[in-house]
Chain A
Amino acid sequence: MNDTALAHRLVRKYLRQLDEALAPLPPARKAELHGQIAAHLGEELPPDATDAEVAEALRQLGSAAQVAAEAGVPPRPAPAPADSLRWLGGAIQRRTWKFWAVLAVLVAAVTVFANVLDGLETARPLSINGMFGWWYAQDAGRQVNTEAGMAQQSTVPVRWHQQQGLFVVVWNNSRYTQTVLGYAPLTAESPGNYPSGQLAVSTGMTAPAEPEDPHTQRYTLPVAIPPGQSRFVRVFWTDTYCIAKGGYQGIDKLILQVRVGWITKTETISLGQLWAVAGTKQSTCPD
């Protein structure tokens, strides 16, 4: 999937709107549809898509409400004139000082709330920074690094039914503490992510300039990453799918569920390269 396109401001905004529109659906159905639309955009858009290209792709996709309606979400009823509105109309006519005072406080509160909300929603997502590598020495010792154009890949032989994994350092380059909750719900259906994957984040981390051994860290979830700090992220998986000789499977991103303030959102972290396990001549595939 094209990470750059999914990280585009307009795409992220659309996917957030889609999540809101699909809220009445069961979580599994919602996650599936989110994944399908994200995959569509990731494949449709070039990595360096302009705002105009993204806007056109989103226009062709249809509004989040249209997609939700097609998925069986009933349209939201138009708000009926409420008693509070009638009270507001009367108050405007009366123009009492109490009315204007209440209105001023309300406007100020809404403005502050909106600014905070906007800050949380647009907080820079976690990103890769510093060390990375295969977790197990036997994999690190057999890795083959290749490069084709801008695409880089680190490949190791698959060890079928054995745990393999990698670690990366993620950096919170935002003004808010970001808490990694786990994989996003859609991860299990996302191409490039192993359904059997286990995710964990280190509880402590030294500065990137003086990195510690990732193997000596304690890992758990959820883990809060304060602004400006980094943590190791460890990903384990056990391949149970057959990979024939010459074939490979890999991950090039982590799609995480992250809490920022009181907002929980999905962040896609590009791993910078494809981490792949390849079939070997010893690989035995079931009939």
Chain B
Amino acid sequence: MAAEDGLTELRRGVLGSCVLALLEVRPRFGLELVRDLSAADGLLTSDGTVYPLLNRLRDAGLVTSEWRDAEGERARRYYSITAAGQQSLADFRDDWAGFTKTVNAVLHHDSIPDGARTKEHPR
């Protein structure tokens, strides 16, 4: 697999949690989320893929959405994180910390952390 393909897959894997992290700060509307993700260099390759992702997160109960029609502004659909989304994000933060530690250790030929050693196959 080419390095670029690997990065693409990696982005896909973490983008949902990054969206949750942004929504944890405050509710955002679609274009605002896209701009914030684009500002994080290299995280977003196609703006349009954010919307299917948001719909999947909503279907999974991790975000909710509502229309807001503030005076003098266009109506926008705002997305907010749910309690389940916050729990999912907290879990991901824990997993991500361990994962990056393991990957860094392997990539830089450091000693592999105990928790990441390959288990022996059952005989």
**A183-B27 Cα distance, complex, nearest whole Å:** 30
- Residues from 24 to 83 in B contacting A, C-beta threshold 8 Å: 30-31, 34, 38, 45-49, 51-55, 67, 69, 71, 74-77
Rounded to whole Å, the gap between the CB of A75 and the closest CB of chain B is 14
**A215-B98 Cα distance, complex, nearest whole Å:** 70
> Known interface pairs A36-B30, A40-B30. Does A66 touch B67 (Cβ–Cβ under 8 Å)?
no
A10 within 8 A of B: no
> Known interface pairs A1-B74, A192-B75. Does A44 touch B31 (Cβ–Cβ under 8 Å)?
yes
**A66-B48 Cα distance, complex, nearest whole Å:** 8
Pick the contact of B46 from A36, A60, A248 — CB < 8 Å? A60
Beta-carbon contact of A40 and B76 below 8 Å = no
Q: Which residue of B lies closest to A68 (CB)?
A: B52
**A248-B77 Cα distance, complex, nearest whole Å:** 17
Pick the contact of B71 from A33, A61, A248 — CB < 8 Å? A248
**A262-B40 Cα distance, complex, nearest whole Å:** 46
Beta-carbon contact of B48 and A37 below 8 Å = yes
The proximity string for A residues 241-259 relative to B, scoring 1 for CB distances below 8 Å and 0 otherwise, is: 0000011110000000000
Rounded to whole Å, the gap between the CB of A61 and the closest CB of chain B is 4
The proximity string for A residues 38-49 relative to B, scoring 1 for CB distances below 8 Å and 0 otherwise, is: 011001100000
B75: A residues at CB distance < 8 A: 191-192, 249
Beta-carbon contact of B74 and A62 below 8 Å = no
Beta-carbon contact of A71 and B77 below 8 Å = no
Beta-carbon contact of A191 and B46 below 8 Å = no
Beta-carbon contact of A62 and B77 below 8 Å = no
Report B's interface with A, CB cutoff 8 A.
30-31, 34, 38, 45-49, 51-55, 67, 69, 71, 74-77
Identify 30 residue pairs between A and B in the complex whose beta-carbon atoms are under 8 Å apart, listed by A's number.
A36-B30, A36-B51, A36-B54, A37-B48, A37-B51, A39-B77, A40-B47, A40-B48, A40-B51, A43-B31, A43-B74, A44-B31, A60-B38, A60-B47, A61-B46, A61-B47, A62-B46, A62-B47, A62-B49, A66-B48, A66-B49, A67-B48, A67-B52, A70-B53, A72-B52, A191-B75, A191-B77, A247-B69, A247-B71, A248-B71
